[in-house]
Structure 1
């Protein structure tokens, strides 16, 4: 049995930068599946891999390894995959091929706005405060990227590209909300929330999806419920904008954040994996 990949068309630009290409998986002279491969800033992604005929014959493994070879040819130093929670075969394949679980996607369906804590205040960030806030967020993001395997240069390039894509107009970017949490009698903000109110649509009925881009509590003020209040602020902002679905990404090793999100009713929807090439 010979399993190979054949492109179904030319390379295409990837939304947000980079490139992608669709491939068919062929075995013994016929198409038995499909793969979508993408690349951006030296990081590759196997965006989709489906074997439609004669599963459990190792075709998924061979197709994934062939996709990795394509990404090496594109100059990628790292490959990522995203697997739905219920796709047990996909999780087994990722682990068998040496991928490490890096982060989780979680989701919550919103119904009614939660009441705020009366002793706390949240407000939109002002333009004069924005750059200092963004500098701090970027430092933390770079540190997290380095912890999951990127070099200093790769992390810096990804941070710059993501800021350009997500905040093209910085403080005035439509659909983005940044709020600060204030505690009476304490100097400066205790934390911040960065929320995207337009992060795509959810099938099958094309519902709008909001996304928690970042939630941060100052290190010396943690353990007081401020992170919970910021997450509830996100829910109130979503519902005020008519959005009833809220998602987020949390690093796999961040157990306190997992406990918080689970206590608020978020459910795990996808696991993210990565490995060096």
Structure 2
């Protein structure tokens, strides 16, 4: 599929089921995100409603059939004293990786978060996800620390890398 056929759009309620399916597909790969199956559709609906209600930014990559193939969200910390901080999460279906779509999603989400007043964007990424780490570095994120053996799945340990992008990088 040509990447120019994929559109990046703000989240909308009409995409809840498709978004839920993509999160589940990426989760079931057991490699890239912190859970091994997607949330319930009800949880996804509540999350999307919170985003639409101002809790953060979510952009979706949508194919010509209006099916979600990837996402990037930056959710603002709701606690007093931390509301300037947003947490980035993203994922793409396998056939859409390595073509610059993740970079477009993340860059546009960071721009939108900055416009919404977010001064610090932070994330966690598994150390084995070298492609994602390179993408985040290219966008200006810096490594702030490593949580060793943060996950043990299928008998294997995985370190978490903590990264952030501060105001001047935004």
The two structures share one fold, judged by TM-score above 0.5 = yes
> What is the CA RMSD across the aligned residues, in angstroms?
3.6
Q: TM-score, normalised by structure 1?
A: 0.42
Aligned to 1:264: 139
How many angstroms apart in 1 are the aligned matches of 2:58 and 2:9?
8
- Does 2:15 match 1:140? no
Tell me the CA shift for residue 226 of structure 1: 0.9
Tell me the CA shift for residue 200 of structure 1: 5.3
- Does 2:88 match 1:212? yes
Aligned to 2:164: none
Structure 1, residues 85-129: CA drift from partner, whole Å, max 9, x if none? Answer: xxxxxxxxxxxxxxxxxxxxxxxxxxxxxxxxx997422222122
Task: Tell whether the 8 Å contact from 2:58 to 2:73 is kept in structure 1 after alignment.
Answer: yes
Task: Tell whether the 8 Å contact from 2:60 to 2:69 is kept in structure 1 after alignment.
Answer: yes
Q: 1:248 aligns with which of 119, 123, 132?
A: 123
Q: 1:160 to 1:194 in 2, by over 3 A?
A: same
Q: 1:242 to 1:259 in 2, by over 3 A?
A: same
Q: TM-score, normalised by structure 2?
A: 0.64
Higher relative contact order (CA 8 A, sep 6+): 1
Task: Tell whether the 8 Å contact from 1:200 to 1:209 is kept in structure 2 after alignment.
Answer: no
Aligned to 2:70: 191
2:30 is paired with a residue whose SS is helix
Q: 1:238 aligns with which of 87, 106, 113?
A: 113
Q: Could you tell me which runs of 5 or more consecutive residues in structure 1 were left unpaired when the two chains were aligned.
A: 1-117
Aligned to 1:99: none
Q: Could you tell me which runs of 5 or more consecutive residues in structure 2 were left unpaired when the two chains were aligned.
A: 153-170
Q: 1:127 to 1:256 in 2, by over 3 A?
A: same
Q: 1:178 aligns with which of 58, 61, 79?
A: 58
Task: Tell whether the 8 Å contact from 1:201 to 1:208 is kept in structure 2 after alignment.
Answer: no
Q: 2:104 aligns with which of 221, 229, 236?
A: 229
Structure 1, residues 27-60: CA drift from partner, whole Å, max 9, x if none? Answer: xxxxxxxxxxxxxxxxxxxxxxxxxxxxxxxxxx
Structure 1, residues 200-251: CA drift from partner, whole Å, max 9, x if none? Answer: 577xxx56110112x2233223322111111111111111111111011111
How many angstroms apart in 2 are the aligned matches of 1:221 and 1:127?
23
Alignment length (residue pairs): 143
Matches within 5 A, 1:1-277: 121-144=7-30, 155=36, 160=39, 169-173=46-50, 174=53, 175-182=55-62, 186-188=64-66, 189-198=68-77, 208-213=84-89, 215-272=90-147, 273-274=149-150
Larger Rg: 1
